[in-house]
Chains A and B, each alone.
Chain A
Amino acid sequence: MNISANGYLSGSNLERVLRAGHFAATGELGPPQSADGSTIREKAQLLKGACDAANITDNQTAIVRMSSVSAGAIALQEGLEPVIQVTCRDRNRLAIQSDILGAYAQGIRNILALSGDHQTFGNHPMAKNVHDIDSIQLVQMIAEMRDKKIFQCGDPFKGQEPCMFVGAAAAPFAHPIDFRPYRLGKKVNAGANFIQTQLIYDIEAFKKYMEKVRALGLHEKTYILAGVGPLKSPAMARYMRESVPGMLIPDEIMNRMTAAGAPWSGKGELTKEDKKARSGAWRETGIKICVELIQQLREIEGVSGVHIMAIEWEEAVRPIAEGAGLLPRPVVEPAAA
Protein backbone atom coordinates (compact mmCIF):
# COMPACT_ATOMS: atom_id res chain seq x y z
CA MET A 1 0.00 0.00 0.00
CA ASN A 2 1.36 3.37 -0.99
CA ILE A 3 0.83 5.47 2.08
CA SER A 4 1.94 8.67 0.43
CA ALA A 5 -0.95 8.55 -2.03
CA ASN A 6 -3.66 11.15 -1.57
CA GLY A 7 -6.71 10.24 0.42
CA TYR A 8 -6.83 8.30 3.65
CA LEU A 9 -7.04 4.54 3.93
CA SER A 10 -9.41 4.67 6.86
CA GLY A 11 -9.56 8.30 7.89
CA SER A 12 -9.00 7.35 11.53
CA ASN A 13 -7.60 9.97 13.87
CA LEU A 14 -4.45 7.87 14.28
CA GLU A 15 -3.94 7.72 10.53
CA ARG A 16 -4.53 11.46 10.15
CA VAL A 17 -2.07 12.35 12.92
CA LEU A 18 0.59 10.07 11.45
CA ARG A 19 0.00 11.23 7.89
CA ALA A 20 0.31 14.84 8.98
CA GLY A 21 3.78 13.99 10.26
CA HIS A 22 3.07 14.36 13.97
CA PHE A 23 4.79 12.13 16.51
CA ALA A 24 1.87 9.87 17.46
CA ALA A 25 0.91 8.49 20.85
CA THR A 26 -1.36 5.51 21.43
CA GLY A 27 -2.53 4.16 24.75
CA GLU A 28 -4.02 0.90 25.91
CA LEU A 29 -7.28 0.03 27.61
CA GLY A 30 -7.98 -3.40 29.04
CA PRO A 31 -11.69 -4.33 29.02
CA PRO A 32 -13.10 -5.71 32.29
CA GLN A 33 -13.62 -9.36 33.19
CA SER A 34 -17.27 -8.52 33.54
CA ALA A 35 -20.24 -7.16 31.64
CA ASP A 36 -19.79 -3.73 33.23
CA GLY A 37 -19.43 -1.02 30.61
CA SER A 38 -18.88 1.78 33.14
CA THR A 39 -15.25 0.80 33.81
CA ILE A 40 -14.54 1.30 30.11
CA ARG A 41 -16.14 4.71 30.24
CA GLU A 42 -14.01 5.66 33.25
CA LYS A 43 -10.79 4.43 31.68
CA ALA A 44 -11.69 6.10 28.39
CA GLN A 45 -11.95 9.43 30.19
CA LEU A 46 -8.45 8.92 31.61
CA LEU A 47 -7.02 8.27 28.15
CA LYS A 48 -9.07 10.73 26.12
CA GLY A 49 -6.95 13.65 25.00
CA ALA A 50 -3.77 11.98 26.34
CA CYS A 51 -3.29 9.86 23.21
CA ASP A 52 -4.46 9.75 19.60
CA ALA A 53 -6.09 6.33 19.95
CA ALA A 54 -6.11 3.52 22.48
CA ASN A 55 -5.69 -0.19 21.89
CA ILE A 56 -8.54 -2.27 23.25
CA THR A 57 -7.08 -5.64 24.11
CA ASP A 58 -8.63 -8.90 22.92
CA ASN A 59 -8.85 -11.43 25.76
CA GLN A 60 -5.38 -10.33 26.78
CA THR A 61 -3.10 -13.05 28.18
CA ALA A 62 -5.89 -15.47 27.24
CA ILE A 63 -8.17 -14.32 30.06
CA VAL A 64 -11.80 -13.84 29.13
CA ARG A 65 -12.81 -10.19 29.05
CA MET A 66 -15.42 -8.10 27.32
CA SER A 67 -14.92 -8.32 23.57
CA SER A 68 -12.62 -5.72 22.06
CA VAL A 69 -15.21 -4.70 19.46
CA SER A 70 -17.87 -4.04 22.10
CA ALA A 71 -15.49 -2.27 24.44
CA GLY A 72 -14.18 -0.29 21.47
CA ALA A 73 -17.69 0.84 20.59
CA ILE A 74 -18.15 2.10 24.16
CA ALA A 75 -14.80 3.92 24.03
CA LEU A 76 -15.92 5.58 20.82
CA GLN A 77 -19.10 6.85 22.51
CA GLU A 78 -16.82 8.41 25.14
CA GLY A 79 -14.81 10.21 22.46
CA LEU A 80 -11.77 7.95 22.66
CA GLU A 81 -10.67 6.45 19.34
CA PRO A 82 -10.11 2.70 19.66
CA VAL A 83 -7.58 0.41 18.03
CA ILE A 84 -9.28 -2.95 18.16
CA GLN A 85 -6.90 -5.80 18.89
CA VAL A 86 -7.76 -9.04 17.12
CA THR A 87 -6.01 -12.32 17.86
CA CYS A 88 -6.03 -15.51 15.81
CA ARG A 89 -6.36 -17.66 18.89
CA ASP A 90 -10.09 -17.48 19.53
CA ARG A 91 -11.71 -16.98 16.15
CA ASN A 92 -11.47 -18.39 12.66
CA ARG A 93 -11.53 -16.38 9.46
CA LEU A 94 -15.33 -16.35 9.33
CA ALA A 95 -15.72 -14.96 12.84
CA ILE A 96 -12.93 -12.41 12.43
CA GLN A 97 -14.34 -11.05 9.18
CA SER A 98 -17.83 -10.73 10.61
CA ASP A 99 -16.40 -8.91 13.65
CA ILE A 100 -14.57 -6.53 11.33
CA LEU A 101 -17.77 -5.75 9.45
CA GLY A 102 -19.52 -5.07 12.73
CA ALA A 103 -16.64 -3.00 14.06
CA TYR A 104 -16.61 -0.82 10.96
CA ALA A 105 -20.36 -0.33 11.13
CA GLN A 106 -19.92 0.86 14.73
CA GLY A 107 -17.41 3.48 13.62
CA ILE A 108 -14.21 1.64 14.49
CA ARG A 109 -11.37 2.41 12.07
CA ASN A 110 -8.15 0.88 13.50
CA ILE A 111 -7.21 -2.77 14.02
CA LEU A 112 -4.12 -4.39 15.45
CA ALA A 113 -3.61 -7.95 14.20
CA LEU A 114 -1.99 -10.41 16.61
CA SER A 115 -1.31 -14.15 16.91
CA GLY A 116 -2.44 -14.04 20.56
CA ASP A 117 -0.86 -15.44 23.71
CA HIS A 118 -1.31 -19.18 24.00
CA GLN A 119 -4.39 -20.16 25.99
CA THR A 120 -2.33 -22.15 28.50
CA PHE A 121 -1.40 -18.78 30.08
CA GLY A 122 -4.95 -17.76 30.76
CA ASN A 123 -7.98 -18.81 32.76
CA HIS A 124 -9.21 -21.39 30.25
CA PRO A 125 -6.11 -23.48 29.61
CA MET A 126 -8.39 -26.40 28.74
CA ALA A 127 -9.85 -24.55 25.75
CA LYS A 128 -9.34 -25.50 22.13
CA ASN A 129 -7.54 -22.82 20.16
CA VAL A 130 -8.19 -21.83 16.58
CA HIS A 131 -5.22 -20.43 14.65
CA ASP A 132 -7.02 -20.87 11.36
CA ILE A 133 -4.90 -18.01 10.03
CA ASP A 134 -1.80 -16.39 11.53
CA SER A 135 -1.15 -12.73 12.29
CA ILE A 136 0.52 -12.03 8.94
CA GLN A 137 -2.32 -13.63 7.02
CA LEU A 138 -4.72 -11.63 9.19
CA VAL A 139 -3.01 -8.35 8.26
CA GLN A 140 -3.27 -9.32 4.61
CA MET A 141 -6.92 -10.28 4.96
CA ILE A 142 -7.91 -6.96 6.55
CA ALA A 143 -5.89 -4.96 4.00
CA GLU A 144 -7.48 -6.86 1.10
CA MET A 145 -10.98 -6.42 2.52
CA ARG A 146 -10.28 -2.70 2.22
CA ASP A 147 -8.16 -2.46 -0.93
CA LYS A 148 -9.54 -5.26 -3.07
CA LYS A 149 -13.02 -5.18 -1.57
CA ILE A 150 -13.02 -8.94 -1.18
CA PHE A 151 -13.60 -11.45 1.55
CA GLN A 152 -10.72 -13.80 2.34
CA CYS A 153 -12.26 -16.45 0.09
CA GLY A 154 -12.12 -14.03 -2.83
CA ASP A 155 -15.84 -13.21 -3.01
CA PRO A 156 -16.45 -9.49 -3.67
CA PHE A 157 -18.28 -7.29 -1.18
CA LYS A 158 -21.88 -6.60 -2.01
CA GLY A 159 -21.90 -3.24 -0.25
CA GLN A 160 -19.67 -1.07 1.92
CA GLU A 161 -16.23 -2.57 2.51
CA PRO A 162 -14.58 -2.08 5.91
CA CYS A 163 -11.80 0.49 5.56
CA MET A 164 -9.50 -0.13 8.46
CA PHE A 165 -6.09 1.29 9.33
CA VAL A 166 -4.24 -1.99 9.85
CA GLY A 167 -1.57 -2.47 12.45
CA ALA A 168 0.67 -5.30 13.52
CA ALA A 169 2.95 -5.97 16.46
CA ALA A 170 6.71 -6.39 16.45
CA ALA A 171 8.87 -8.06 19.06
CA PRO A 172 12.34 -6.68 18.25
CA PHE A 173 14.20 -8.79 20.81
CA ALA A 174 12.40 -12.11 20.57
CA HIS A 175 14.33 -14.94 18.96
CA PRO A 176 15.75 -15.64 16.46
CA ILE A 177 16.78 -12.00 16.80
CA ASP A 178 18.40 -11.75 13.34
CA PHE A 179 15.10 -12.65 11.71
CA ARG A 180 13.02 -10.02 13.54
CA PRO A 181 13.55 -7.14 11.07
CA TYR A 182 12.65 -9.50 8.22
CA ARG A 183 9.52 -10.68 9.97
CA LEU A 184 8.59 -7.03 10.36
CA GLY A 185 9.17 -6.75 6.62
CA LYS A 186 6.73 -9.59 6.03
CA LYS A 187 4.11 -7.80 8.07
CA VAL A 188 4.69 -4.60 6.11
CA ASN A 189 4.45 -6.50 2.82
CA ALA A 190 1.26 -8.11 4.07
CA GLY A 191 -0.14 -4.58 4.40
CA ALA A 192 0.60 -3.33 7.93
CA ASN A 193 0.08 0.44 7.91
CA PHE A 194 1.43 0.85 11.40
CA ILE A 195 3.47 -1.20 13.83
CA GLN A 196 3.42 -1.19 17.61
CA THR A 197 6.44 -2.79 19.25
CA GLN A 198 6.85 -4.80 22.40
CA LEU A 199 7.93 -2.69 25.41
CA ILE A 200 11.33 -1.10 24.84
CA TYR A 201 13.61 -0.34 27.78
CA ASP A 202 16.95 -1.02 26.12
CA ILE A 203 17.44 1.95 23.81
CA GLU A 204 20.83 0.78 22.50
CA ALA A 205 19.45 -2.61 21.45
CA PHE A 206 16.45 -0.93 19.85
CA LYS A 207 18.71 1.45 17.92
CA LYS A 208 20.48 -1.55 16.40
CA TYR A 209 17.15 -3.07 15.45
CA MET A 210 16.00 0.18 13.88
CA GLU A 211 19.23 0.38 11.88
CA LYS A 212 18.32 -2.91 10.22
CA VAL A 213 14.71 -1.81 9.80
CA ARG A 214 15.89 1.34 8.04
CA ALA A 215 18.32 -0.62 5.87
CA LEU A 216 15.30 -2.58 4.64
CA GLY A 217 13.44 0.68 4.06
CA LEU A 218 10.55 -0.45 6.24
CA HIS A 219 10.25 2.85 8.12
CA GLU A 220 9.22 4.45 4.84
CA LYS A 221 6.46 1.94 4.18
CA THR A 222 4.87 1.84 7.61
CA TYR A 223 4.62 3.93 10.77
CA ILE A 224 6.56 2.44 13.64
CA LEU A 225 5.32 3.20 17.15
CA ALA A 226 7.78 2.14 19.83
CA GLY A 227 6.23 0.48 22.86
CA VAL A 228 6.84 2.04 26.28
CA GLY A 229 5.36 1.46 29.70
CA PRO A 230 5.90 2.72 33.24
CA LEU A 231 7.39 0.22 35.70
CA LYS A 232 5.43 -0.03 38.96
CA SER A 233 8.05 -1.62 41.17
CA PRO A 234 11.45 -3.36 41.12
CA ALA A 235 9.61 -6.69 41.48
CA MET A 236 7.60 -6.01 38.34
CA ALA A 237 10.78 -5.06 36.47
CA ARG A 238 12.51 -8.24 37.63
CA TYR A 239 9.55 -10.38 36.67
CA MET A 240 9.39 -8.85 33.21
CA ARG A 241 13.12 -9.16 32.66
CA GLU A 242 13.16 -12.80 33.71
CA SER A 243 9.85 -14.13 32.46
CA VAL A 244 8.63 -12.18 29.45
CA PRO A 245 10.16 -13.38 26.18
CA GLY A 246 12.18 -10.71 24.40
CA MET A 247 12.09 -8.19 27.27
CA LEU A 248 15.41 -6.45 27.74
CA ILE A 249 15.70 -4.16 30.77
CA PRO A 250 19.17 -2.69 31.33
CA ASP A 251 20.75 -2.82 34.79
CA GLU A 252 20.69 0.96 34.95
CA ILE A 253 16.88 0.99 34.91
CA MET A 254 16.68 -1.90 37.37
CA ASN A 255 18.99 0.01 39.72
CA ARG A 256 17.00 3.22 39.46
CA MET A 257 13.83 1.39 40.40
CA THR A 258 15.54 -0.25 43.37
CA ALA A 259 17.09 3.06 44.46
CA ALA A 260 13.66 4.71 44.44
CA GLY A 261 12.64 2.44 47.29
CA ALA A 262 15.93 2.78 49.20
CA PRO A 263 14.61 5.17 51.88
CA TRP A 264 12.35 2.34 53.06
CA SER A 265 14.85 -0.51 52.94
CA GLY A 266 16.30 -1.76 56.20
CA LYS A 267 13.43 -0.14 58.10
CA GLY A 268 12.15 -3.49 59.27
CA GLU A 269 8.40 -4.11 59.13
CA LEU A 270 6.79 -1.37 57.02
CA THR A 271 3.54 0.28 58.06
CA LYS A 272 0.69 0.64 55.61
CA GLU A 273 1.63 4.31 55.12
CA ASP A 274 5.27 3.39 54.53
CA LYS A 275 4.28 0.89 51.87
CA LYS A 276 2.05 3.42 50.21
CA ALA A 277 4.79 6.03 50.19
CA ARG A 278 7.30 3.53 48.80
CA SER A 279 4.90 2.45 46.07
CA GLY A 280 4.38 6.13 45.22
CA ALA A 281 8.13 6.66 44.96
CA TRP A 282 8.52 3.62 42.71
CA ARG A 283 5.70 4.73 40.45
CA GLU A 284 7.05 8.25 40.22
CA THR A 285 10.40 6.87 39.10
CA GLY A 286 8.68 4.50 36.71
CA ILE A 287 6.90 7.41 35.06
CA LYS A 288 10.12 9.44 34.96
CA ILE A 289 11.99 6.60 33.24
CA CYS A 290 9.15 6.21 30.78
CA VAL A 291 9.25 9.92 29.89
CA GLU A 292 12.99 9.73 29.29
CA LEU A 293 12.59 6.65 27.12
CA ILE A 294 10.05 8.47 24.95
CA GLN A 295 12.43 11.39 24.56
CA GLN A 296 15.21 9.04 23.47
CA LEU A 297 12.98 7.02 21.14
CA ARG A 298 11.80 10.20 19.48
CA GLU A 299 15.35 10.88 18.36
CA ILE A 300 15.64 7.57 16.52
CA GLU A 301 15.11 7.89 12.79
CA GLY A 302 12.11 5.89 11.63
CA VAL A 303 10.19 6.03 14.91
CA SER A 304 6.88 7.73 14.19
CA GLY A 305 5.38 7.61 17.64
CA VAL A 306 5.03 5.73 20.89
CA HIS A 307 2.58 3.18 22.15
CA ILE A 308 2.16 3.77 25.88
CA MET A 309 1.11 0.60 27.69
CA ALA A 310 -0.09 1.22 31.23
CA ILE A 311 -2.56 -1.58 31.70
CA GLU A 312 -4.53 -1.25 34.96
CA TRP A 313 -2.73 2.05 35.46
CA GLU A 314 -4.40 4.18 32.83
CA GLU A 315 -3.95 7.26 35.08
CA ALA A 316 -0.25 7.18 34.24
CA VAL A 317 -0.69 7.86 30.54
CA ARG A 318 -1.52 11.54 30.85
CA PRO A 319 1.44 12.49 33.09
CA ILE A 320 3.73 10.47 30.83
CA ALA A 321 2.48 12.19 27.68
CA GLU A 322 2.64 15.52 29.48
CA GLY A 323 6.17 14.92 30.74
CA ALA A 324 7.34 13.87 27.30
CA GLY A 325 5.93 17.08 25.79
CA LEU A 326 3.31 15.22 23.78
CA LEU A 327 0.34 17.29 25.00
CA PRO A 328 -1.89 18.68 23.77
CA ARG A 329 -2.46 16.06 21.09
CA PRO A 330 -2.67 17.56 17.63
CA VAL A 331 -6.00 17.89 15.92
CA VAL A 332 -5.91 17.01 12.23
CA GLU A 333 -9.16 17.68 10.44
CA PRO A 334 -10.26 15.00 7.99
CA ALA A 335 -10.43 17.63 5.26
CA ALA A 336 -6.72 18.37 5.54
CA ALA A 337 -5.65 15.36 3.48
Chain B
Amino acid sequence: MIVAETKPLDEIKALLSDAEKVLVVGCGTCVTVCFAGGSREVAIMGSLLRMAGRMDGHERQVEEVTVQRQCEWEYLDAIAEQVGAVDVVLSLGCGIGVQALAEHFPNAWVVPGLNTKFMGLPLEQGVWAERCAGCGDCLLGLTGGVCPIARCSKQLLNGPCGGSIDGHCEINPEVSCAWQLIYDRLTEKGKLEVLMEIQPPRDWRTARHGGPRTIVREDLRLPEDHQAGQSMKQEA
Protein backbone atom coordinates (compact mmCIF):
# COMPACT_ATOMS: atom_id res chain seq x y z
CA MET B 1 0.00 0.00 0.00
CA ILE B 2 0.89 3.65 -0.17
CA VAL B 3 1.99 4.89 3.22
CA ALA B 4 1.57 8.52 4.24
CA GLU B 5 1.82 10.74 7.32
CA THR B 6 -0.07 13.85 8.38
CA LYS B 7 1.70 17.14 7.75
CA PRO B 8 2.36 19.37 10.78
CA LEU B 9 -0.74 21.42 11.64
CA ASP B 10 1.13 24.72 11.25
CA GLU B 11 2.04 23.82 7.70
CA ILE B 12 -1.56 22.89 6.94
CA LYS B 13 -2.80 26.16 8.44
CA ALA B 14 -0.34 28.05 6.25
CA LEU B 15 -1.58 26.16 3.19
CA LEU B 16 -5.18 27.09 4.02
CA SER B 17 -4.15 30.71 4.61
CA ASP B 18 -7.27 32.87 4.76
CA ALA B 19 -9.75 30.35 3.36
CA GLU B 20 -13.20 30.76 4.93
CA LYS B 21 -14.64 27.47 3.79
CA VAL B 22 -12.59 24.28 3.74
CA LEU B 23 -13.49 20.77 2.65
CA VAL B 24 -11.36 18.00 4.15
CA VAL B 25 -11.41 15.01 1.80
CA GLY B 26 -10.31 11.61 3.06
CA CYS B 27 -9.73 8.39 1.15
CA GLY B 28 -11.02 4.97 2.07
CA THR B 29 -8.12 2.97 0.68
CA CYS B 30 -4.38 2.98 1.51
CA VAL B 31 -4.34 6.00 3.79
CA THR B 32 -7.25 4.60 5.78
CA VAL B 33 -5.26 1.44 6.41
CA CYS B 34 -2.19 3.40 7.49
CA PHE B 35 -4.26 5.70 9.73
CA ALA B 36 -3.34 8.90 7.92
CA GLY B 37 -6.35 9.93 5.85
CA GLY B 38 -9.42 7.79 6.50
CA SER B 39 -12.76 9.04 7.83
CA ARG B 40 -11.41 8.92 11.38
CA GLU B 41 -8.44 11.15 10.54
CA VAL B 42 -10.71 13.43 8.50
CA ALA B 43 -12.91 13.94 11.57
CA ILE B 44 -9.87 14.65 13.73
CA MET B 45 -8.45 17.09 11.18
CA GLY B 46 -11.84 18.82 10.93
CA SER B 47 -12.00 19.33 14.70
CA LEU B 48 -8.39 20.49 14.89
CA LEU B 49 -8.95 23.08 12.19
CA ARG B 50 -12.14 24.36 13.79
CA MET B 51 -10.43 24.58 17.14
CA ALA B 52 -7.33 26.24 15.69
CA GLY B 53 -9.59 28.70 13.87
CA ARG B 54 -11.28 29.69 17.11
CA MET B 55 -7.96 30.06 18.92
CA ASP B 56 -6.39 32.10 16.13
CA GLY B 57 -9.46 34.28 15.83
CA HIS B 58 -9.97 33.08 12.27
CA GLU B 59 -13.06 30.90 12.32
CA ARG B 60 -13.51 28.65 9.35
CA GLN B 61 -16.34 26.58 8.12
CA VAL B 62 -14.86 23.09 7.82
CA GLU B 63 -16.75 20.33 6.02
CA GLU B 64 -15.68 16.69 6.00
CA VAL B 65 -16.09 13.90 3.48
CA THR B 66 -14.32 10.63 2.72
CA VAL B 67 -14.48 8.99 -0.69
CA GLN B 68 -13.86 5.32 -1.26
CA ARG B 69 -10.86 5.90 -3.52
CA GLN B 70 -9.49 9.38 -4.14
CA CYS B 71 -7.18 8.29 -6.94
CA GLU B 72 -9.95 7.45 -9.41
CA TRP B 73 -12.06 10.13 -11.00
CA GLU B 74 -15.24 8.08 -10.96
CA TYR B 75 -15.29 8.16 -7.16
CA LEU B 76 -14.97 11.93 -7.12
CA ASP B 77 -18.13 12.88 -8.98
CA ALA B 78 -20.18 12.31 -5.85
CA ILE B 79 -18.45 15.20 -4.04
CA ALA B 80 -18.50 17.71 -6.92
CA GLU B 81 -21.09 19.91 -5.21
CA GLN B 82 -19.22 20.02 -1.88
CA VAL B 83 -15.96 20.84 -3.68
CA GLY B 84 -17.65 23.64 -5.58
CA ALA B 85 -18.88 25.23 -2.33
CA VAL B 86 -15.53 25.82 -0.63
CA ASP B 87 -12.44 28.03 -1.03
CA VAL B 88 -9.90 25.29 -0.39
CA VAL B 89 -10.00 21.51 -0.58
CA LEU B 90 -7.65 19.87 1.92
CA SER B 91 -6.92 16.37 0.69
CA LEU B 92 -5.99 13.69 3.16
CA GLY B 93 -5.30 11.33 0.26
CA CYS B 94 -1.87 10.41 -0.98
CA GLY B 95 -0.16 12.58 -3.58
CA ILE B 96 -2.14 10.79 -6.26
CA GLY B 97 -5.42 11.62 -4.55
CA VAL B 98 -4.49 15.29 -4.33
CA GLN B 99 -3.69 15.36 -8.04
CA ALA B 100 -6.80 13.42 -8.98
CA LEU B 101 -8.88 16.04 -7.18
CA ALA B 102 -7.00 18.93 -8.78
CA GLU B 103 -7.32 17.41 -12.24
CA HIS B 104 -10.96 16.51 -11.86
CA PHE B 105 -11.99 19.86 -10.41
CA PRO B 106 -9.90 22.44 -12.29
CA ASN B 107 -11.78 25.29 -10.61
CA ALA B 108 -10.96 24.12 -7.10
CA TRP B 109 -7.81 24.93 -5.09
CA VAL B 110 -6.55 21.63 -3.67
CA VAL B 111 -3.79 21.37 -1.06
CA PRO B 112 -2.19 18.30 0.54
CA GLY B 113 -2.68 17.46 4.20
CA LEU B 114 -0.37 14.45 4.08
CA ASN B 115 3.21 13.71 3.19
CA THR B 116 3.17 10.65 0.98
CA LYS B 117 6.12 8.51 2.03
CA PHE B 118 6.45 5.20 0.22
CA MET B 119 5.03 1.92 -0.97
CA GLY B 120 5.34 -0.46 1.89
CA LEU B 121 3.71 -2.60 4.50
CA PRO B 122 2.96 -2.57 8.20
CA LEU B 123 5.58 -4.53 10.12
CA GLU B 124 3.63 -4.35 13.35
CA GLN B 125 0.98 -2.07 14.83
CA GLY B 126 2.19 1.47 14.20
CA VAL B 127 5.29 0.59 12.17
CA TRP B 128 5.48 0.74 8.38
CA ALA B 129 8.44 0.01 6.15
CA GLU B 130 9.27 0.72 2.53
CA ARG B 131 9.32 -2.25 0.18
CA CYS B 132 9.12 -1.10 -3.44
CA ALA B 133 10.43 1.94 -5.30
CA GLY B 134 8.44 1.26 -8.47
CA CYS B 135 11.57 0.83 -10.57
CA GLY B 136 9.61 -0.60 -13.47
CA ASP B 137 11.76 -3.69 -13.97
CA CYS B 138 11.25 -5.96 -10.99
CA LEU B 139 14.27 -8.04 -10.08
CA LEU B 140 12.89 -9.70 -6.97
CA GLY B 141 13.21 -13.04 -8.78
CA LEU B 142 16.99 -12.72 -8.52
CA THR B 143 17.16 -11.58 -4.96
CA GLY B 144 14.96 -13.98 -3.08
CA GLY B 145 12.11 -11.52 -2.77
CA VAL B 146 14.09 -8.74 -1.08
CA CYS B 147 14.28 -5.48 -3.04
CA PRO B 148 17.75 -3.90 -3.24
CA ILE B 149 16.40 -0.83 -5.03
CA ALA B 150 14.03 0.17 -2.28
CA ARG B 151 15.84 -1.37 0.67
CA CYS B 152 19.59 -1.00 0.10
CA SER B 153 20.64 2.56 0.98
CA LYS B 154 22.92 2.62 -2.08
CA GLN B 155 20.66 0.67 -4.45
CA LEU B 156 23.50 -1.76 -5.04
CA LEU B 157 22.92 -4.57 -7.52
CA ASN B 158 26.09 -6.38 -6.47
CA GLY B 159 26.02 -5.92 -2.72
CA PRO B 160 26.64 -5.97 0.13
CA CYS B 161 28.96 -3.00 0.51
CA GLY B 162 31.64 -2.90 3.19
CA GLY B 163 29.30 -1.12 5.58
CA SER B 164 27.12 -4.14 6.32
CA ILE B 165 27.46 -5.15 9.95
CA ASP B 166 25.47 -7.44 12.26
CA GLY B 167 22.60 -7.48 9.78
CA HIS B 168 22.17 -3.74 9.61
CA CYS B 169 23.04 -1.05 7.15
CA GLU B 170 25.93 1.36 7.70
CA ILE B 171 23.57 4.32 7.77
CA ASN B 172 21.72 3.30 10.92
CA PRO B 173 21.47 0.29 13.26
CA GLU B 174 17.67 0.50 12.88
CA VAL B 175 17.86 -0.21 9.15
CA SER B 176 18.34 -3.80 8.02
CA CYS B 177 20.99 -4.41 5.39
CA ALA B 178 19.01 -5.53 2.36
CA TRP B 179 21.98 -7.50 1.06
CA GLN B 180 22.39 -9.43 4.28
CA LEU B 181 18.70 -10.35 3.93
CA ILE B 182 19.24 -11.34 0.29
CA TYR B 183 22.28 -13.39 1.24
CA ASP B 184 20.37 -15.18 4.01
CA ARG B 185 17.38 -15.90 1.74
CA LEU B 186 19.51 -17.29 -1.06
CA THR B 187 21.61 -19.34 1.35
CA GLU B 188 18.45 -20.83 2.84
CA LYS B 189 17.13 -21.70 -0.59
CA GLY B 190 20.48 -23.10 -1.79
CA LYS B 191 20.64 -20.48 -4.54
CA LEU B 192 23.76 -18.59 -3.55
CA GLU B 193 25.25 -19.07 -7.02
CA VAL B 194 22.93 -16.28 -8.22
CA LEU B 195 25.02 -13.84 -6.17
CA MET B 196 28.25 -14.94 -7.85
CA GLU B 197 27.14 -13.45 -11.15
CA ILE B 198 27.87 -9.81 -11.84
CA GLN B 199 24.64 -7.92 -12.34
CA PRO B 200 25.15 -5.40 -15.15
CA PRO B 201 24.28 -1.71 -14.83
CA ARG B 202 20.55 -1.09 -14.94
CA ASP B 203 18.55 0.63 -17.60
CA TRP B 204 16.96 3.25 -15.37
CA ARG B 205 14.61 4.39 -18.09
CA THR B 206 12.04 1.96 -16.73
CA ALA B 207 12.17 3.92 -13.48
CA ARG B 208 11.51 7.65 -13.10
CA HIS B 209 14.78 8.52 -14.85
CA GLY B 210 13.31 8.13 -18.32
CA GLY B 211 10.75 10.81 -17.54
CA PRO B 212 7.19 10.43 -16.21
CA ARG B 213 5.73 7.04 -17.02
CA THR B 214 2.43 6.02 -18.58
CA ILE B 215 1.07 2.58 -19.29
CA VAL B 216 -1.12 2.10 -22.34
CA ARG B 217 -2.91 -1.23 -22.64
CA GLU B 218 -4.39 -1.37 -26.12
CA ASP B 219 -6.26 -4.56 -25.23
CA LEU B 220 -8.20 -2.68 -22.58
CA ARG B 221 -8.80 0.62 -24.34
CA LEU B 222 -12.28 1.53 -25.46
CA PRO B 223 -13.10 2.37 -29.09
CA GLU B 224 -12.20 5.97 -29.95
CA ASP B 225 -15.71 7.47 -29.79
CA HIS B 226 -16.06 6.07 -26.26
CA GLN B 227 -12.70 7.54 -25.24
CA ALA B 228 -13.76 10.97 -26.40
CA GLY B 229 -16.97 10.65 -24.42
CA GLN B 230 -15.05 9.59 -21.32
CA SER B 231 -12.51 12.37 -21.32
CA MET B 232 -15.25 14.93 -21.85
CA LYS B 233 -16.97 13.56 -18.83
CA GLN B 234 -13.77 13.88 -16.77
CA GLU B 235 -13.29 17.48 -17.72
CA ALA B 236 -16.88 18.40 -17.03
Contacts and interface: CB of A to CB of B under 8 A. Distances in A.
Q: Do A and B come from one complex?
A: yes
Nearest to B165: A245
B154 A134 contact: yes
A279 interface: no
Q: Is the interface of B mostly helix, strand, loop or mixed?
A: loop
Nearest to A153: B201
Contacts of A183: 158, 160
A265 interface: no
Contact of A189 (B157, B159, B162, B198): B198
Given A89-B154, A129-B154, A246-B165, A140 B198 contact: yes
A89 B155 CA distance: 10
Given A137-B201, A182-B195, A174 B158 contact: no
A28 to B, nearest CB: 16
Given A132-B204, A176-B183, A179-B195, A137 B157 contact: yes
A118 B172 CA distance: 10
Contacts of A129: 154
Most buried by A among B167, B171, B199, B201: B201
Contacts of B166: 175
Interface in A107-139: 115-118, 120-121, 129, 131-137
A171 interface: yes
A246 B162 contact: yes
A245 B201 contact: no
A322 to B, nearest CB: 30
Nearest to B161: A115
A166 to B, nearest CB: 14
Interface of B: 153-167, 170-172, 177, 180, 183-184, 195-196, 198-201, 204
Given A131-B155, A174-B165, 16 more contacts: A116-B154, A117-B170, A118-B154, A118-B171, A121-B171, A132-B201, A134-B159, A135-B161, A169-B162, A171-B161, A175-B167, A175-B177, A179-B160, A183-B160, A190-B198, A245-B170
Closest 9 CB pairs of A and B: A171-B162, A245-B165, A136-B158, A134-B156, A115-B161, A131-B155, A174-B162, A133-B201, A137-B201
14 contacts: A117-B163, A120-B171, A120-B172, A131-B156, A135-B158, A136-B158, A137-B201, A170-B162, A176-B183, A186-B158, A186-B196, A198-B162, A245-B164, A246-B162
